[in-house]
Chains A and B, each alone.
Chain A
Amino acid sequence: MSGPAPGSALVEARGVVKRFGGLTAVHRLDLTLWEGEILGLIGPNGAGKTTLFNLLSGQFAPDSGKILLEGREIHHLPSHRICRLGLARTFQVPRPFLAMTAFESVLVGAQFGRRVPGTSASDTAERCVALTRLEPRRNAPVHSLNLAERKRLDLARALATRPRVLLVDEVAAGLNPTEVRETVGILREVHASGVGIIYVEHVMEAVMDISHRVHVLDHGATIAIGTPGEVTRDPAVIEAYLGRSAGP
């Protein structure tokens, strides 16, 4: 799949550093998500992908460096402000509001997220429930939802905040092939509606299938950036995933 013509940057990380005690989880990282793009973010376990998501969405503040959303510095803002500016996320392990129904959970995002004049929160929530195929479970208590449904609910809640940028953290992990295809289909629809996506995933077929570009991390630093085809042939990427070859 060919990438879109580079327009303006939706998200930019510049020289971002995050340390936990003696461990540097993210080291002087530069990353760009362009308008209209799906950017795959891959790397071995511990590469710093989820830490980067926590930095972008304001759960952590970086030790140094800058993060910009549509040209505006956001790295000093709390999560709820970043969400209202148009950056939403899902969680690797879904974090549902167990005491609510599916619809109420999505309504939280719609009521507290980015304000868009002329749209009502409940309409937005209905639309996101429909988009994520949760209509049959609309009024079900969240604790009765299975893993696949909880992942879609996390996605629906994030979408209900009407993001310009969506961070998706391993939405396909633990799902069967049918569910993975369905989820990828949902992400395509989200992208078609004009949302930029950064997609962290270990399920390679999913991330390679829909990403325009792939950004590869290892030990908190960039080791490759390119189209899915380019990065899978990149020796540094192969080494990070499989180890150095024994031959000369």
Chain B
Amino acid sequence: MSSFARRQLLLGLGAIAGLALIAPLLLANPYSSRLAQLLFLNILLASAWNLVGGFAGQISFGNASLFGVGAYATSMLWLAGFHPFLTMPAAAVLAALYGVAWGWPCLRLRGPYFAIATIGVAEATRIVANHIEAAGGASGLTLPLEQDLGPVLLYALGAVLAVAAVLVSAAVRRSRLGLGLIALREDAQAAAASGVNVARQQVTVFAITAALTGLAGSYYAVFTLYIVPEKVFGFDLSISLVLMVLVGGIGTVMGPVLGAGIYLFLEQFVLASLADIHLAAFGALLIFIILLEPRGAAPRLAQFVRLIRRRVG
């Protein structure tokens, strides 16, 4: 095993151990348990989005379409009698297949053209989902409440998924794939002239994004036990991912983690009182960030940590 892989494995195990240690704190009441679940969900979603949005520079406003596929795959299989854990690989695979199916043509576009195409795909997916009666139509699906996995298992599942997403992200960043993605983000033509198969690199990373986003949908279904197309295929969800990553630091491994936390904090404690205008408030926040700190919070935080280390060391 390479030293990088060993270090990542140790960091991952350390993170899981840390999350296990603080578990009693977060599992103290149903509200804090739910906050932890939402945090894990956001980390998973934001890290997945960042693979294609941050590394490849392809801004997707359509990840809800992948999230919804994961959520519905798990829900329908669960209702068909499979254990929820067994449905998760299926959710990942189906979301990846759906992602490749529309990512393949759309990723030929770059920049704003790709972004607009993703909105179209996701909205079309939402509308179709609303009309599939076999999947509950617009009223959605209610999952077997009596089979709830319980807060401890859900916490553990979320922690493992979130940590895994961050490790995948770090591994992609370090890999040949990651190098090719950053090259094509910086200059697609020069990357192609250097031997990078631009189309294949993008579709490959999008499959990983889609699989992780599908897992997130699956996890969401398992802890909310109730899904409707308007929520799991909703445009709000797609936008929130973009916001998280931009706030945290696009194109970095830890940025999405940071952004996921900041977003949850704002959503729960600051913007809850603003209710209906919370998206407008996020829009204002986004403008603020782009003007003052376009690289997001992560680089600034890293700078701060280095400063502290220098003072201490």
Contact A79 B189 (CB under 8 A): yes
* Interface: B186 (CB within 8 A): yes
Q: Is the CB of B179 within 8 A of A80?
A: no
B194 with A158: CB separation less than 8 A: yes
List residues of chain B with CB within 8 A of the CB of A89. 193
Interface mask (B180-196 → A, CB under 8 Å = 1, otherwise 0): 10110111011111111
Within the assembled complex, what's the spacing in Å between the Cα atoms of A79 and B176? 19
Interface string of A169-188 (1 = CB under 8 A from B): 00000000000000000000
Would you call A83 and B193 a contact (CB within 8 A)? Answer: yes
A100 at interface (Cβ–Cβ under 8 A)?
yes
Contacts of A84 in B (CB 8 A): 195
B170 within 8 Å of A (CB atoms): no
Q: Is the CB of B194 within 8 A of A157?
A: yes
Nearest A-chain residue to B57, judged by Cβ: A99
A interface, how many residues as a size bin? 20 to 34
Interface of chain B, main secondary structure: helix
Contact (A112, B194) CB under 8 Å given A59-B189, A95-B187, A95-B189: yes
Does B189 contact A97, Cβ atoms closer than 8 Å? no
A97 x B190 contact (CB < 8 A) = yes
Distance in Å from the Cβ of A132 to the closest Cβ of chain B?
A: 15
Closest beta carbon of chain A to B50's beta carbon, Å: 14
Q: Which of B179, B189, B197, B198 contacts A108 (CB 8 A)?
A: B179
CA distance A57 to B196 in the complex (A): 13
- The chain B residue with its CB closest to the CB of A57 is B193
A-B CB contacts (within 8 Å), total count: 80
| Residue of A58, A107, A111, A160 with most partner-chain B CB within 10 A | A111
Number of interface residues of B (CB under 8 A): 19
In the complex, whether A113 has a CB less than 8 A from a CB of chain B is: yes
Q: Do residues A83 and B189 form an inter-chain contact, with CB atoms below 8 A? A: no
Q: Does B196 contact A112, Cβ atoms closer than 8 Å?
A: yes
Residues 144-182 of chain A: 1 if any B CB is under 8 Å from the residue's CB, otherwise 0?
Answer: 000000000000011011000000000000000000000
A123-155 interface code vs B (CB 8 A; 1 in, 0 out): 000000000000000000000000000000000
Q: Which of A58, A96, A105, A112 has the most CB of B within 10 A?
A: A112
Least Cβ–Cβ distance between A102 and chain B, in angstroms: 13
How far is A82 from B195 in the complex, measured between Cα atoms in Å?
Answer: 8
Assess the A112–B182 pair: CB atoms within 8 A. no
Q: How far is the CB of A155 from chain B (nearest CB, A)?
A: 12
Q: Can you list, as one digit per residue, whether each of A75-106 has a CB less than 8 Å from chain B (1) or not (0)?
A: 00011100110001101000111111000110
Chain A residues within an 8 Å CB radius of B191: 97, 108, 112
CB B144 to nearest CB in A, in angstroms, measures 48
Closest to B177 in A: A111
CA distance A79 to B193 in the complex (A): 5
Residues facing B in A43-73 (CB within 8 A) are 57-59
A160 to B185, CA, bound (A): 20
A97-B183, A111-B180 known; A80 and B190 CB under 8 Å?
no
Q: Cβ of A114 < 8 Å from any Cβ of B?
A: yes
Residues 193-239 of B contacting A (Cβ, < 8 Å)? 193-198
List the interface of chain A (C-beta within 8 A of B). Answer: 57-59, 78-80, 83-84, 88-89, 91, 95-100, 104-105, 107-109, 111-114, 157-158, 160-161
Ordered by A's residue number, 25 sampled pairs between the chains whose C-beta atoms are within 8 Å are A58-B192, A80-B192, A80-B195, A80-B197, A83-B192, A83-B193, A83-B195, A84-B195, A89-B193, A95-B187, A95-B189, A95-B190, A97-B182, A97-B187, A97-B191, A98-B186, A99-B185, A100-B186, A105-B183, A108-B180, A108-B191, A111-B179, A112-B195, A113-B194, A157-B190
Identify the 9 closest CB pairs spanning chains A and B, nearest first. Answer: A112-B195, A95-B190, A97-B186, A79-B192, A83-B195, A113-B195, A109-B194, A108-B183, A112-B196
A80-B192, A97-B186, A112-B176 provided; 15 other pairs, C-beta below 8 A? A57-B193, A78-B192, A80-B198, A83-B194, A95-B189, A98-B186, A99-B182, A108-B180, A108-B191, A108-B194, A109-B194, A112-B196, A158-B193, A158-B194, A160-B194
